[in-house]
Amino acid sequence: MIDLKTIFKSFSNKKIIVIGDVMIDTYIKGKVNRISPEAPVPVVKFESKENRLGGAGNVALNIKALGAKPFICSIVGNDENATLLNKLINQNHLSDEGLIKVDDRTTTVKTRIIGNNQQLIRIDQEDVTLISSQMAYNLIETVKDIALKEKVDAIIFQDYNKGVLVAEVIEKLTKFANSNSIPVVVDPKKDNFLTYKNVTLFKPNLNELKEGLDIDFDYDNSNKSDLLNAIEVLKEKINPKYVFVTLSEHGVFINDETDNFFIPAHLRNITDVSGAGDTVISVATLCLTSGLKPNLIAEISNLAGGLVCEKVGVVSIDKEQLMQEVLKL
């Protein structure tokens, strides 16, 4: 019998590197009572502004919320927003030693204008050009240094197609991790989808799986053959140890060396799905490093994703709430 309380307690001993596109999520909120006389757009009467860590930074926040120690490794601009990013990292008591600032890059900021609790528009400041070979080399060496010095338990590639995770970074760090017996967990996007070869756990959602393999099919719980065929194609192309696919309202799928597991979604009062994937990858990584079997990894991660969807905005998982829900089940 697995002692889940002991497993959750063991998260506090884990150290996880999160590599990828780190960004700032800015929320400007206010009330809308009229339309502008200048153009047919709502006038938002300003009430508040909030800056949060986003992208790979949100994964780090989830790792921390679960009790483990995350290290964010990324390339950002040497600009005013990078200073704000550093401030947010420090405010959240995270390490910034893996953050590399470069002059010819823009720190990503996504600004959401929210009126009467409804998002009206989003403004993105970003540079999605691929990082240079020199930047890639510096990032690779930084990750290696932290991994060996801290004796990390896993590496997460958190990809948002913003240019940090280039093929050189993915391939060299996966090879380094495998040679040092460090599990590699991937939350992929389309551009590098088939570059993540020989990783430990590969976690696309259903749309990413279809886009990454350039195939299309409709999925429901009565017809699983197309999904299983796609998983076999994926395994042939990139050879992951485990494939973990989130299926939205249909739950999740995971496989191990011999079996396939389909885990249904839990009935939830869904408020906001933002950030759910970040929570799922964080929980899955810590469960993996704690030695849980794939079906349990998927069960607990699926539950965590549902819990954060009940809350408004991008929020981190509540470790105690998750443990209580897991114990109930």
Residues noted as catalytic: 278
Q: With beta carbons less than 8 A apart as the criterion, state whether 30 and 43 touch.
A: no
Q: Burial of 80 by CB count in 10 Å (0-12 exposed, 13-18 middle, 19+ buried)?
A: exposed
Per the CB < 8 A criterion, the answer to whether 251 and 264 are in contact is: yes
Nearest CA to 43 among 109, 121, 125? Answer: 121
Across the strands, what pairs with 125?
A: 109
The three state secondary structure string of 81-98 is HHHHHHHHHHHCCCECCC
Which tokens belong to 64?
Answer: 């921390």
Specify which residues 308 forms β-bridges with. Answer: none
Closest CA to 129 of 75, 84, 174: 75
| Helices and strands of the chain, counted as H and E runs | 10, 13
Pure H helices in the chain: 4-10, 56-65, 80-91, 133-150, 167-179, 206-213, 225-238, 276-289, 294-308, 319-328
Q: Which two tokens stand for residue 132?
A: 């240079």
